[in-house]
Structure 1
Amino acid sequence: MPKRARNARDLDQLPYAHRLVAFDGELDREGDHEFAHFDGDVFTDLDGGGSAFTSSAFSAVTFTAGRYRRARFDDVWLHSVRVVGTDFAESAWMDAEFTACVLAGIEAFGTGMRRVAFHNCKFDSVNLRQTKLREVSFVDCLLRDVDLAGATLTDATFPGSTLERIRLDNATLTRVDLRGAAAVDIASGVAALSGATIDHAQLLDLAPALAQHLGLTVKDQ
């Protein structure tokens, strides 16, 4: 079985928690935010492209629409954050932790993520085409209609997560462990699973899609 990601942390467990300062202002293009605590803020249709967020926390924040292309997030913590219809394309995430977050209708193609953990999060219609995900874990999450076409996934795990109608066309999977996922439903690109590890029960669930990909006709006498 895959190794589960470490348990989600509370705000006061962050090593930089004592240095956080409440954010009071607006997000601007190419802004630099360090040790900022965004608490209950609502950001609607803003342009924060190229901004940097370092050792910062987001509590119950809402992002609606808006553009944050090429923004950088390093060592950030997000809890109960809601992101709807927002553009995070080509952003970079390292050492980030998401807990109980909702991400819907997001453009995040070309994004890079390394050492990122998602706990109890919901993804709905998220565009992750051409992303590079390395050491990313999805723990007890729901991923519905997520597009990973052309993406590169390395050392990714999905313990307890449900994958529905996932697109993997031309994706590259290396040491991706799907064992322990509650459900694995691939809408297209099933051939990309050649770089993944699954269990026997998942193999049975995926058998129809694999047979269709191979051109097999399955008939009972």
Structure 2
Amino acid sequence: MVRKARNTGVAAARRPEVRLPPLGPFGGGGLEPDGDYDGLELAGLDLAGENGAGARFLDCALRDCVLDETSLTGARFIDSVLTGVRGVGTDLAGASLRDVEVVDARMGGVQLHGAVLERVLVRGGKIDYLNLRNARLKDVVFEGCVLSEPDFGAAQLERVEFRDCALRQVDFSGVRMRDVDLRHVAELEVARGMEGLSGAVISTAQLMDLAPAFAAQLGVRVED
């Protein structure tokens, strides 16, 4: 059952508190598999097609970088900021993001299936076809962003907030939710997985908007 919105009883997500130290410049060259990047600023770089699988980014800032088809499978981002990154087909499958801010990203077809996100803020920007199948999200906030056709299939969401953002044609099939706050979503379109909303909190207005979909899910016909 989807819980009706209340003023209390919803555990708030813990936001990341990223305090970057003075950063050194990236030394040039491309990314390396299993590379170790500590306290670096990667700014304005074209990393399209680079292979950084298994790399570790600690206290790093990626600013205005191009990530088309960049392989970052199994990579770890810790206490880091990604600002203005853009790209299509970026592969972050199985990656780990902890205490990370993603700001004003413009991306499409991002692969984050099987990834682990903890204390992550995604603010602003637009991400199309985000694949979060089988991912684990804990203390994650999506704020002021547009997610077009995101796939949360079979993911685990705990203390996740969607604030002032658009969720267009979202797939919640098989999702397990706990303390997921959808009350402040500006635009909510559920394409599949209405049953996955169990454990979410919605507003009364959203309940009315979703009523036809709930009825269809239960096999109920509504006639005047």
TM-score between both structures, scaled by the size of structure 1: 0.92
State the Cα distance separating 1:205 from its structure 2 match: 1.1
1:145 equivalent to 2:145? Answer no
Q: How far apart in 2 are the matches of 1:82 and 1:66? A: 11
Q: Give the residue type in structure 1 aligned to 2:121.
A: A
Please tell me whether the aligned partners of residues 51 and 68 of structure 1 are also in contact (alpha carbons under 8 angstroms).
yes
Confirm or deny: 8 A CA contact 1:79 1:100 kept in the other structure: yes
Shift, 1:186, TM fit: 0.6
Match of residue 23, structure 1, among 11, 22, 26: 26
Partner of 1:92: 96
Asked if 1:213 is matched to 2:213, the reply is no
Distance 1:113 1:174 in 2: 15
Give the aligned partner of residue 203 of structure 2. Answer: 199
- 8 Å CA contact 1:77–1:96 kept in 2: the answer is yes
Q: Which residue of 1 aligns with 2:125?
A: 121
Aligned residues: 214
Q: Which runs of 5+ in 1 are unaligned?
A: none
Give the Å deviation of 1:4: 8.6
User: For the residues of structure 2 that align with 1:16 and 1:191, how far apart are their CA atoms?
Assistant: 41
- Whether 1:108 aligns to 2:112 is yes
Shift of 1:5: 7.7
Contact 1:74/1:93 (<8 A) preserved: yes
Alpha-carbon RMSD across the aligned residues, in angstroms, is 1.7
In percent, how many aligned pairs have the same letter? 33
Do the aligned partners of 1:50 and 1:71 also contact (CA within 8 Å) in 2? yes
Per-residue CA shift, 1:4-51, capped at 9, x if unaligned?
A: 987x99xxxx63342x01112220000000001011011011111110
Higher relative contact order (CA 8 A, sep 6+): 2
Give 5+ residue unaligned stretches, structure 2. 1-6
Hey, what's the Cα distance between the residues in 1 that align with 2:104 and 2:185?
Answer: 18
